[in-house]
Chains A and B, each alone.
Chain A
Amino acid sequence: MDRKKAIGLCLCRMCPSFVDCKEEIAYCLADKGTSGCIKEEQGCLCPGCPVQDEENFQHVYYCIRGNEAGQSHAR
């Protein structure tokens, strides 16, 4: 999915773990690393996110643990 479309669908801003530091959201598809400001896992909305659904992604907490490709590779 195009990142711009993903940002439009992404639920990150409603997430209990989200901290707004003006980063680009849709961390599941982010090119580089993790969020620079979100550090605590306080819940995750990724499992119910339309981006996750459409892409059939299988991980969570992308903002902290890294994007889908990175987490898949780690396993």
Chain B
Amino acid sequence: MEFELTEEHKMFQKLGKDFADREIEPVADEIEKESRVPEDMLGKLAAVGLLGIAAPERYGGLGVGFLTYILAVEQIHYPCTPCSWLLVANEFADVLSRVGTEGQKAELLPPVVEGHMLPSCSFADEIDGVGPATLNTTAHLDKGHWVINGTKRFHTFGHVDGPTIIFARTGKGEVSSLLVSKNITGYTSSKPMALLGLRGLEIVDTYLHDVRVPEDSLLGERGKGLEVAQMVAVASRLRQAIQSVACAQRALDEAVKYSKERTRRGVPIASMQAIQWLLAEMAMRIEPARWSTYEVAWSKEQGEDTGMQSAMLKLFAARTAKEVANMAIQVHGCYGLTKDYRIERIYRQAKMFELTEGSKDAQASIVADALLAR
């Protein structure tokens, strides 16, 4: 047992931190105000290698493990902007390198790693909500092509050029995953939704109307779509967990800073026991959430099944973000409600982690089923 990050891990942490300080922090307010991530951000992330952490070297990536990716996300999300979502290229590479064909990898990984394309993945269908087992989207074979029809909701980056993973019913009780180019006839998207927090994160509805893709667009075997979905879900839960941790850490740091500056009768409020109590409650939650995330990411990297662990973790980390943000805004008092302070934005985004990529109730259900099935 060895609870220390390797030199390589620390190097990527530093790379992520330097990038966040240099490229994201200065534009964080603007991103929030304009609800827009600068167009060159993806290219900049690619230039320092952060899009290719998980992709094999053969395809232009760095081929270092999933934990390293998680460490990078933690740093990139510290300014609490949607920029960390651009790193999902790594999750795409993680899935593709495990279930993709040689041809798919060779075609898609290099442009994804270089930031020329932004991959995506969508779980939620129009009516039945989350849960790929209840899909409405269908695909059938016609003259060597899959013909896909359906609607995908809450599809992050669903309108940006690149490949997307679509889950569809390909027969009775059969779900398959397909690689679809988002720039193809029959594929349309809504405008990005206006969101509570994380403004600039572009989430759309996607409509697939007789979309035709070649037969070899299957990702993984036919009928094994739910396994691919599970793979994608585990990766995204871990990423959301570390984004939650970064969000909570930033909330604590903002509260500490404010409590030292703000005085009451000439004394910083940091010296008051009620404030210190809140700071301790925040710190107490972050440390376990962080190391638990590292542990599960490491287990995933070792090839272990982390389906239940990642669901528990996501549940816990999202809760941590929400509770910590709530206490941090409390430290700020009424000033916390104003846009002059970063905590206002953090508070709005913290709740989102309990709702996206499988709501907390979906995670709870996964965890309980696993417990009862033992």
Partners in one complex: no
